[in-house]
Amino acid sequence: MGTDVIILAAGEGTRMLSDLPKPLHGLMGKSLIEHVLTATTSLADDPPVMVVGYGAEEIKEYLGDQF
């Protein structure tokens, strides 16, 4: 039995002075949420659970079936 992974990805990113949800901001060629998902995929047998708030539809559309 693997470890369950829950990712909190509900920030607006207002201090980043952008209309993008915080998880979609880029860092080193990937979005913040991609970095977190890549780092956690090997930690659990099941896919991670992601808690989204602001920009949920935009985040789901961005990730598509990738994760």
- Is 8 one of the annotated active-site residues of the chain? no
Burial code of 39-66, b = ≥16 C-beta within 10 A, e = fewer? ebeeeeeeeeebebeebeeebeebbeee
Residue 27, SS3 per DSSP: strand
Catalytic residue from among 1, 2, 3, 15: 15
Residue 16, SS3 per DSSP: helix
- The residues assigned a catalytic role are 15
